[in-house]
Chain A
Amino acid sequence: MEEVDVEPSTTLIPGAGFYQKHLGFEWGPGDLIVYETNYKLQGNESCSPSVHIVRRDEDICSPILRKLFSESHLIFVGLQKIKEDVPSKNKKSQFVSISKNYRSVIRACMEELQQNAGKRSHDTHPVSILLAIELIWNLCEVLFIDAAPAGSLLLQLLDWVRLHKSDVDAKAREVLQSDSPAQHQSYWDVVISLVLQGRTDEARQVLSKQASLRAESSSVFKRMDGLLQTMPIFNPTGTQTLTEFEVKWRHWHEECDRCLQDNTFASNRHLETICKILVGDEDTLLEQKELLSTWYHFLVTRLLFTHPTIKPPDLHYYAQSSMNMFLGPRASPEPLDIILLSAFEFDLHQVIKDCSIALNNWWFVAHLTDLLDHCKLLQSHNLHFGSNLREFLVLEYASGLFTHHSLWQLAVDYFDHCPEFGRVYLELQIERVPLDTERKAIKVLRICEDRQMSEQVRSICKIMAKRALRNNRLGSALSWTIRAKDAAFATLISERFLQDYSNKGSFTDLDLLDNLGPAMLLSDSLTFLGKYREFHRLYGEKRFSEAARLLLSLMTAKIAPRSLWMTLLTDALPLLEQKEVIFSVDQTYELMSCLEELNSGTKHSNLTDQDEDIESTKTELLRLALARNLTMAIVKEGTIET
């Protein structure tokens, strides 16, 4: 495909380039930061005080256009689900209906924008863009998706023109509703416009207003009425073949011509003009430039009255010449004109390419190309070319959505339907979604979990855990860490919990700790924390022997860190001092050996005298309590129950 070199546009950043000539930059989410600097200088007193945030002028920010994005998203997803094995004839009607759905979404959006047009002045720009988009899409639907054959083709083109030239209806209404329609200044304009659009019945209706007035010229009007009434219109669903229609049409055409030759309408210049139009006289048609207003209207009208059975491949010749004739030698075609011309030439790739360049949003090209790809229209060049183009455009569009704070969720579905790069694009971009709230983080996580993006899941949980830890929300940090399956961090947080406990004497986040379940096994420290909390719970429920057993196992199974043994032993004190004996003889011996093991370890020299005193007091108390318990336990176990 020919790559025409389009000069890139230059955007000027106001307030930069005055003091220093270099521009520094950095990529941001969906934008660029640009700042004045000088790469060669170390420092300079004169410098610009500002940095500038630069972003593409995309319409993504308008709330009404957002509706366009979300509704078309539904259509897109529905389209992807159409099964491959449906027979192609049924599929065509499905595709046409989907195309119409897209167009109705565009129209709805346009109408809403037009309603709001009075309120915000810079909404007129998107309205005109949407108009152009719908115009192009509609033409593509007629030519490519519906692929109308000769006969129907012209009828559909007529519909297309009528749809995009709605001012005729308004004018006609105005004329008909006036007191004397025939005297209205726009009267003849309306009649001619209707004829130009092939709306012969309506033209006759308006003409009849004239006829009733002038009795003497009524025969002339009757004649015109007759011509208009007998104009053949092809019926695609009828039994008449194209050839038969063509014959009929020729006869009618000749009759119109005869009227001209006979000067039948010489008395009324308006009727004469209409007759010339019916005959397809190019000069006359060109005289109606103002009423036609566009070259493509001229094209369709011209075809209506000269070649109603035009075949698709012959279209481009008439399109090119119509455009030249209409625009004249001095005017140059606009980008929209070039796009339409490419469509008439059935050069699909050129249409897509030109649209990509002319429009500053990928929405249109992405969705249209996707639909055309489903219609298998993009595979004419070579196999990879077609699907690559579609995926490329869809990826571009979806990536653009990702920078938006709520639309990014729509983008996920688009990536899902890009088989080659969709997943990796999603992985890269979903990590960057700002995790403002827990709710948003969970939303992002669910998306990653559904797609088995385990690294992203881990990373997001870790970020949330770290953030919670910084803000001292230990419970939140712990639950995120468990979700991240991060053992090292779990150890860290467990240690913080325990530290908190030693400082405050109670646990926080009891709900979480009580319901850890198998997650407890993530790290030894976490297991200890969970079990330790369980010990406290058992004690609270007065299930002393279970509590005792658990406490002992924590120490003997070496789950408890050494540093906490003293705390655990101290926790054992109330159990030792219960009236009934809880620890058995063996258990008491174990506790005693733990205590001795603890004391035989290296003494911490960094303890203050006061702390050392407390430690030795504790040890004494424990020894005493253990000894007392031992005696009671020996007695109890030695006693025979009678």
Chain B
Amino acid sequence: MFVAKSIAADHKDLIHDVSYDFHGRRMATCSSDQSVKVWDKGDDGEWHCTASWKTHSGSVWRVTWAHPEFGQVLASCSFDRTAAVWEEIVGESNDKQRGQSHWIKRTTLVDSRTSVTDVKFAPKHMGLMLTTCSADGVVRIYEAPDVMNLSQWSLQHEISCKLSCSCISWNPSSSRAHPPMIAVGSDDSNITYSGKVQIYEYNENTRKYAKAETLMTVTDPVHDITFAPNLGRSFHVLAIATKDVRIFKLIPMRRESANSSGPTKFEVQVMAQFDSHNSQVWRVSWNITSTLLASSGDDGCVRLWKANYMDNWKCTGILRGDGSPVNGSGHAAALSQIRSSLRESS
């Protein structure tokens, strides 16, 4: 049912994150070898590495693209306690012919005292805003007021979560009915603060982020968190990677009084829960239309989850390494096709 094609990534150490750009024509990979590589998809459909450079002095945990409205911009975060913003410079014609491009560092964000575990750009309708979270339990929101000058970033908000943070996710909804909302997950094993997912909402009046909700039922360490694309619904959908995969529905409750002080209250429902990984789940991610959720677990599998038109969720596919080493130097892209189907072709 699936076909796999491999590309030699040539990182010298573990790859921790891979990120596609908005149009799916470029890709960034980051690794414990402290570097980031950028890949471009050519007209021939093949991926070529167009840049590779050292970005940090420690393992690079995550890399992410800004919306193309802001140009070609990447952000990375690392164990070295910093996050960095990179911009691609239009190169000399020589470089273009060689298929190389240059990325230069626009800024380093050094406010964290511990490893920076996640970095995400906020939805584009909020402007050019970058968010980081760290093991020191602080979520930091930065803004570049002048989108033409990416070396100027100001720290707009510092949210203290009291728990070591592992992941963040912005609600992508740009509807005016929903104020900006960010979910923070924690992998802290602290049992005093048992709710490991916190939801913060921006308040227009106080101009600050305030906690709207803590998901008290999530008591185990959370490794990844992601809002689903909104699709014009009135409620929000949030997927969480913890000891299992959980999908929550957050329904904003109508305010009783006219005053709009205080964050929105939510009714929290569990839409689905999957324990098929039978182990810790490390990553969850939605596809563009939020019709498929993928999760990756300790069992070495990536599982795909889909809801049918009756809103029943089921696993529709599993990916797993076959445990074989890659042959050869890995420079040539190896084309391999595996078909495992429910029915044999006649």
Chain A residues within 8 Å of B, Cβ to Cβ:
1, 3, 5-6, 8-30, 32-39, 41-45, 47-57, 124-125, 128-129, 334-335, 357-358, 360, 388-389, 391-392, 395-396, 399, 421, 424-425, 428-429, 431-435, 455, 459, 462-463, 466-467, 470-472, 492
Residue interface bits B92-122, CB-to-A below 8 A is 1, else 0: 0000000000000000000000000000000
Kindly list chain A residues whose C-beta atoms are within 8 Å of the C-beta of B71: 466, 470
Task: Indicate whether A47 sits within 8 Å of B11 (C-beta atoms), given known contacts A11-B319, A459-B69.
Answer: yes
Give the shortest distance, in Å, between B118 (CB) and chain A (any CB): 13
Could you tell me if A24 and B15 are in contact, using CB atoms closer than 8 angstroms?
yes
Give the shortest distance, in Å, between B66 (CB) and chain A (any CB): 11
Give the shortest distance, in Å, between B242 (CB) and chain A (any CB): 13
Q: Flag whether B4 is at the interface (Cβ < 8 A).
A: yes
Kindly list chain B residues whose C-beta atoms are within 8 Å of the C-beta of A425: 231, 289
Kindly list chain B residues whose C-beta atoms are within 8 Å of the C-beta of A125: 345
Could you tell me if B23 and A57 are in contact, using CB atoms closer than 8 angstroms?
no
Besides A54-B5, A396-B291, 9 new A-B residue pairs in contact (Cβ under 8 A), listed by A number:
A8-B315, A11-B320, A13-B338, A16-B323, A21-B300, A22-B296, A35-B9, A50-B7, A51-B15
Could you tell me if B7 and A11 are in contact, using CB atoms closer than 8 angstroms?
no
Could you tell me if A15 and B326 are in contact, using CB atoms closer than 8 angstroms?
yes
Q: Flag whether B81 is at the interface (Cβ < 8 A).
A: no
Task: Indicate whether A55 sits within 8 Å of B288 (C-beta atoms), given known contacts A13-B319, A39-B282, A44-B32.
Answer: no
Complex Cα gap A193–B300 (Å): 55
Q: Which of B15, B285, B343 interacts with A36 by CB under 8 Å?
A: B15
Complex Cα gap A399–B9 (Å): 29
Of the listed residues B19, B69, B70, B341, the one surrounded by the most CB atoms of chain A closer than 10 A to its CB is: B69
Give the shortest distance, in Å, between B128 (CB) and chain A (any CB): 12
Kindly list chain A residues whose C-beta atoms are within 8 Å of the C-beta of B345: 124-125, 128-129
For this complex, 26 residue pairs linking A to B, each with C-beta atoms less than 8 Å apart, are A3-B312, A10-B340, A11-B319, A11-B338, A13-B319, A20-B14, A22-B296, A25-B296, A28-B20, A28-B24, A29-B24, A32-B302, A34-B302, A34-B319, A47-B11, A47-B13, A51-B7, A54-B319, A57-B337, A399-B291, A429-B288, A433-B23, A463-B68, A466-B70, A472-B90, A492-B148
Q: Flag whether B164 is at the interface (Cβ < 8 A).
A: no
Could you tell me if A15 and B309 are in contact, using CB atoms closer than 8 angstroms?
no
Kindly list chain A residues whose C-beta atoms are within 8 Å of the C-beta of B330: 49-50
What does DSSP make chain B's interface, helix, strand, loop or mixed?
loop
Complex Cα gap A357–B2 (Å): 14
Give the shortest distance, in Å, between A192 (CB) and chain B (any CB): 25
Could you tell me if B69 and A54 are in contact, using CB atoms closer than 8 angstroms?
no
Give the shortest distance, in Å, between B272 (CB) and chain A (any CB): 14
Could you tell me if B9 and A27 are in contact, using CB atoms closer than 8 angstroms?
no
Q: Which of B288, B296, B341 interacts with A432 by CB under 8 Å?
A: B288
CB neighbors of A among B287-327 (8 A): 287-289, 291, 294, 296, 298, 300-304, 308-310, 312, 314-326
Could you tell me if A12 and B32 are in contact, using CB atoms closer than 8 angstroms?
no
Closest B residue, CB atoms, query A334: B343
Closest A residue, CB atoms, query B325: A18
Closest B residue, CB atoms, query A8: B315
Could you tell me if A470 and B231 are in contact, using CB atoms closer than 8 angstroms?
no
Of the listed residues B22, B316, B317, B326, the one surrounded by the most CB atoms of chain A closer than 10 A to its CB is: B326
Of the listed residues B29, B294, B303, B325, the one surrounded by the most CB atoms of chain A closer than 10 A to its CB is: B325
Kindly list chain B residues whose C-beta atoms are within 8 Å of the C-beta of A492: 148
Kindly list chain A residues whose C-beta atoms are within 8 Å of the C-beta of B32: 42-44
Could you tell me if A33 and B18 are in contact, using CB atoms closer than 8 angstroms?
yes
Could you tell me if B319 and A9 are in contact, using CB atoms closer than 8 angstroms?
no
Give the shortest distance, in Å, between A455 (CB) and chain B (any CB): 8
Could you tell me if A55 and B282 are in contact, using CB atoms closer than 8 angstroms?
no
Could you tell me if A38 and B326 are in contact, using CB atoms closer than 8 angstroms?
no
Kindly list chain B residues whose C-beta atoms are within 8 Å of the C-beta of A18: 321, 323-326
Closest B residue, CB atoms, query A41: B14
Q: Flag whether B27 is at the interface (Cβ < 8 A).
A: yes
Could you tell me if B2 and A53 are in contact, using CB atoms closer than 8 angstroms?
no
Task: Indicate whether A358 sits within 8 Å of B342 (C-beta atoms), given known contacts A9-B317, A12-B320, A26-B18.
Answer: yes
Complex Cα gap A57–B15 (Å): 26
Kindly list chain B residues whose C-beta atoms are within 8 Å of the C-beta of A25: 18, 283, 285, 294, 296, 302, 319
Q: Which of B8, B148, B302 interacts with A50 by CB under 8 Å?
A: B8
Q: Which of B7, B14, B68, B231 interacts with A37 by CB under 8 Å?
A: B14
Closest B residue, CB atoms, query A461: B69
Task: Indicate whether A14 sits within 8 Å of B14 (C-beta atoms), given known contacts A42-B32, A424-B232.
Answer: no
Could you tell me if A43 and B341 are in contact, using CB atoms closer than 8 angstroms?
no
Q: Flag whether B339 is at the interface (Cβ < 8 A).
A: yes
Chain B residues within 8 Å of A, Cβ to Cβ:
1-11, 13-20, 22-25, 27, 29, 32-33, 47, 59, 68-72, 79, 90, 124, 148, 174, 223, 229, 231-232, 282-283, 285-289, 291, 294, 296, 298, 300-304, 308-310, 312, 314-326, 330, 334, 336-343, 345-346
Could you tell me if A50 and B9 are in contact, using CB atoms closer than 8 angstroms?
yes
Could you tell me if A33 and B27 are in contact, using CB atoms closer than 8 angstroms?
yes
Closest B residue, CB atoms, query A53: B5
Q: Which of B10, B148, B296 interacts with A49 by CB under 8 Å?
A: B10
Of the listed residues B4, B285, B310, the one surrounded by the most CB atoms of chain A closer than 10 A to its CB is: B4
Could you tell me if B323 and A29 are in contact, using CB atoms closer than 8 angstroms?
no
Could you tell me if A429 and B289 are in contact, using CB atoms closer than 8 angstroms?
yes
Kindly list chain B residues whose C-beta atoms are within 8 Å of the C-beta of A43: 13-14, 32-33, 59
Task: Indicate whether A9 sits within 8 Å of B7 (C-beta atoms), given known contacts A35-B18, A466-B71.
Answer: no
Give the shortest distance, in Å, between A536 (CB) and chain B (any CB): 27
Give the shortest distance, in Å, between A2 (CB) and chain B (any CB): 12
Complex Cα gap A625–B6 (Å): 74
Kindly list chain B residues whose C-beta atoms are within 8 Å of the C-beta of A15: 6, 321-322, 324-326, 334, 336
Kindly list chain A residues whose C-beta atoms are within 8 Å of the C-beta of B148: 492
Kindly list chain A residues whose C-beta atoms are within 8 Å of the C-beta of B324: 14-15, 17-18
Task: Indicate whether A17 sits within 8 Å of B285 (C-beta atoms), given known contacts A29-B23, A50-B9, A51-B15.
Answer: no
Task: Indicate whether A399 sits within 8 Å of B318 (C-beta atoms), given known contacts A9-B1, A358-B342.
Answer: no
Complex Cα gap A22–B5 (Å): 18
Complex Cα gap A50–B15 (Å): 9
Give the shortest distance, in Å, between A539 (CB) and chain B (any CB): 32
Complex Cα gap A44–B13 (Å): 6
Could you tell me if A37 and B16 are in contact, using CB atoms closer than 8 angstroms?
yes
Kindly list chain A residues whose C-beta atoms are within 8 Å of the C-beta of B286: 27
Kindly list chain A residues whose C-beta atoms are within 8 Å of the C-beta of B340: 9-12
Instruction: Kindly list the 7 A-B residue pairs having the minimum CB-CB distance in the complex, ordered from nearest.
Output: A17-B321, A16-B321, A43-B32, A29-B24, A392-B309, A12-B322, A15-B326
